[in-house]
Every structure is written in C-alpha cells, then in structure tokens.
C-alpha cells in the first residue's frame, strides 16, 4: 500500500476513534468526512464549512473534529447560533496559505460569529505571519492584517489547550462577547513582529484568562474599551509589551474599562510591565477599579506605568486626555527594572488620576552604576502603605 493511502487510512481511523470517544450524548463530525486533507497543501476551507454547518445544526451536542495532520484553510467564518453546544476540537494543526493576502484582506483568519456554548480545544494554529510583517517593515502597500482567532458576539466560550503561532496581527480577539474563559494557551510570535497582541478584549464582560504563556511582539494581553469584569491569572508574559489597559481615548464616545484583576503572573524582559495608556485628547472614557497584585518583574522596562500621553507613532494630538483613571491598586509587585523609572504616573492635567494605591512594592534597577530606581508623578493622587521602593511620589 502506498504511503499516501496509508496516511489517508490512518486519518480516517483516527476520525473513527474520535467518534467512539466523543463525550456522552455528543455527535462527532470529522472534517475529513467532508473532504478535508491533512497534507498541508490542499485547501480544506470548504470541508470545514460543511462540517460546521452539519455540527451547528445538530439537535444533540456536537463536535467538529480536526484529526491529526496539517490542514490548510483560508479566511473562514463559523456562524451561529447553533442548536446545541458545540466543540471545535483540534487534534492536528491548522495553517494559513503562504500568500499573506489570502487572509490579510479580510481582517480575520478563523472567526466565530454569534456562537454560544462553544469550546475550542487543543491543537495548533499557524497563521504564517512573517511575510505580512516583512511587507509592513518595508513600508509597502499591505493588507490590513488578520486576527488568528476572532470571537464576535459569542457567549459562554471556552478556549483551552490551544497553541497559536505567528499571527499577522492579534492572536486571539474577543469582541462583544460575554463569559469567555481562556485556559492553558500558548501564544508565540517573534519579539519584533508588529501589533501581534496575544489576547485582545473589547466590549466584553466576564472574561477569564489563566495558566497561559504569551511571547509576542506587542501586548501579551490588551484590554480595550468596554472591557468589564476581567480576571487574568498565572500568565507568563515575555517577550512583548506587557499587560495593558488601553489604548483608550482614541475616540470620544467609547466604553469604559472596569473591574479588572491581574494577579500571580511573571513578566520577563518585556518593554512594559502593567500599563494603563490613553491618548491625549478629549474622551468620555474611563478606567476604574483595577487591581494589579502578586506580580514578578524580571528585567522589565517600566514595570508600573500610567501614560495618558500615549503616542506610539510620534503623531501626537498634544491635548489633555479625557479618560478618567481612578481606583487603581498596585500590590506586592517585586523584581527588577531595566529602566531607572520603575514607576511612572503621567496623568492628565484636566482629569488627574485619583485613588492610586501602592502597597508592598520593591523594584530595583539593573544598572552597573547601582543607581536606585525612581518614581515619577504628574497629576497623580493616591496613597501608599507597607514598603514602597522606589520611594513613592504620590
């Protein structure tokens, strides 16, 4: 028997085993039954869509199963609502086409739209973003770029055990979705890859991100406008730009950010640690009831920073930020800073930060001259307790 037929037979055998082992009461739909080929070359987009349509219309709980192998798919939207709960189970690997235009023009690669009771489990996805990054670095006319996994208007979602490589832009985007849990994911892109945020959240409530490792070229996690009731724990972040709230205030009418906790996490050689950032122009936005606690910084630039004059491209509005920042707690944050300014609170003159709380902070400067770390305050009001080093400027 040829190697090809052996491979095909093995794939179908695995699909059969998955059917037998599927959770009680669930019906499995393997993409290979609909013509998908795990050879890494054949476009299997249509097969994935057909499998999804069958699984989504199932009265019983359903599993869309991707067996071992490498499956090439173009931009695809998996649309709900589905009739019952549905699992997107990846046992193999999903890859994007080599031509970055194939997914770059759509803004997304794998999108779930209006799907509730969804779980995305296991496996690996690789968007092959290097060509897109190269296009941008050369200043050419490039597509807008694609988010690897996009959740739009989805509720009650679990993403578990997923590995994501080399997204064109954001790896996982959560927008207008509620009750989303991301657990035990691994995200990786080179430190120089532009705008490759690990996980980005906007206009979503009840998001939990835990037990994950994120190495990327932008924010490990970014919480944009309208993010509420977010819990982030046990994250290994770095390289990257840290964990950020914002940027906020780029438009006047935007939702606020509130009730966010980032805890029990480690930052390694990131450009920033924990950061709130807003544009210096009028806005009705806000960020309040934020807690950063039990964090370790390892050779991190700007371990603690509020920057209300955020301007990454040097095209700055030179106004006052209208974003109101209040009730932000930094508790038990320790480690080493690669910048002498270990704490920076650069707040708006028209809307000063207030309710900033510092407790049990110890950040030392990695410096041959053994200079101490410093704190910088501008229009910031708050309080200190316990040992705070560098000496607080609040």
pLDDT band at 1 (very low <50, low <70, confident <90, very high): very low
Residue 348 contacts residue 322 (beta carbons within 8 Å): yes
Tell which residue, 95, 106, 104, has the closest CA to residue 145. 104
Task: Give 362-383 pLDDT, tens digit per residue.
Answer: 999 998 788 999 999 999 999 9
Q: Tell me the mean pLDDT in the region 109-136.
A: 97
pLDDT (tens digit per residue) in 238-266: 999 999 999 999 999 999 999 999 999 99
Could you report the per-residue pLDDT of 198-235, keeping only the tens digit for each?
999 999 999 999 999 999 999 999 999 999 999 999 99
With beta carbons less than 8 A apart as the criterion, state whether 198 and 223 touch.
no
Catalytic residues: 218, 241
Q: What's the pLDDT at 59?
A: 96
d(CA 73, CA 51): 13
Specify the pLDDT at position 19.
44
How far apart are alpha carbons 168 and 306 in whole angstroms?
28
Average pLDDT over residues 33-44: 98
> What's the pTM?
0.93
Contact predicate 297/303, CB 8 Å: yes
* pLDDT grade for 24, boundaries at 50, 70 and 90: low
Q: What is the 3-state secondary structure (H, E, C) of 107-144?
A: CEEEEEECCEEEEEECCEEECCCHHHHHHHHCCCCCCC
The radius of gyration of the chain from alpha carbons, rounded to an integer in Å, stands at: 23
pLDDT at 361 over 70: yes
């Amino acid at each position: 028997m040829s190697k090809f037929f052996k491979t095909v037979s093995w794939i179908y055998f695995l699909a059969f085993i998955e059917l037998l082992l599927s959770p009680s009461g669930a019906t499995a739909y393997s993409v290979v039954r609909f013509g998908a080929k795990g050879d890494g070359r054949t476009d299997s987009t249509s097969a994935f869509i057909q499998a999804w349509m069958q699984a989504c219309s199932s009265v019983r709980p359903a599993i869309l199963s991707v067996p071992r192998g490498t499956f090439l798919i173009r931009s695809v939207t998996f649309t709900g609502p589905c009739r019952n709960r549905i699992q997107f189970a990846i046992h193999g690997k999903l890859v994007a086409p080599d031509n970055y235009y194939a997914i770059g023009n759509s803004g997304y690669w794998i999108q779930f739209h209006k799907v509730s009771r969804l779980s995305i489990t296991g496996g690996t996805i690789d968007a092959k973003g290097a060509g897109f990054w190269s296009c941008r670095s050369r200043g050419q006319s490039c597509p807008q770029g694609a988010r690897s996994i996009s959740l739009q208007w989805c509720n009650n979602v679990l993403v578990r055990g997923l590995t994501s490589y080399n997204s064109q832009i954001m790896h996982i985007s959560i927008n207008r979705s509620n009750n989303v849990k991301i657990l035990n994911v691994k995200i990786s892109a080179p430190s120089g890859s532009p705008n490759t945020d690990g996980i980005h959240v906007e206009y979503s409530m009840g998001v939990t991100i835990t037990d994950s490792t994120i190495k990327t070229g932008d924010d490990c996690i970014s919480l944009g406008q309208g993010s509420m009731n977010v819990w982030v724990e046990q994250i290994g972040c770095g390289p990257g730009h840290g964990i950020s709230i914002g940027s906020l205030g780029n438009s006047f009418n935007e939702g606020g950010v509130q009730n966010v906790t980032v805890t029990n996490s480690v930052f390694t050689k990131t450009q920033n640690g924990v950061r709130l950032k807003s544009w210096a122009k009028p806005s009705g936005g806000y960020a309040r009831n934020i807690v950063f606690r039990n964090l370790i910084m390892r050779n991190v630039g700007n371990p603690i920073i509020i920057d209300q004059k955020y301007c990454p491209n040097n095209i700055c509005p030179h106004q006052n930020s209208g974003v109101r920042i209040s009730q932000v707690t930094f508790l038990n944050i320790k480690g080493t800073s690669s910048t002498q300014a270990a704490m920076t609170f650069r707040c708006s003159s028209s809307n000063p930060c207030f309710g900033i709380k510092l407790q049990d902070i110890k950040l030392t400067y990695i410096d041959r001259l053994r200079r101490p770390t410093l704190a910088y305050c501008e229009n910031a009001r708050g309080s200190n307790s316990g040992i705070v080093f560098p000496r607080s400027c609040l």
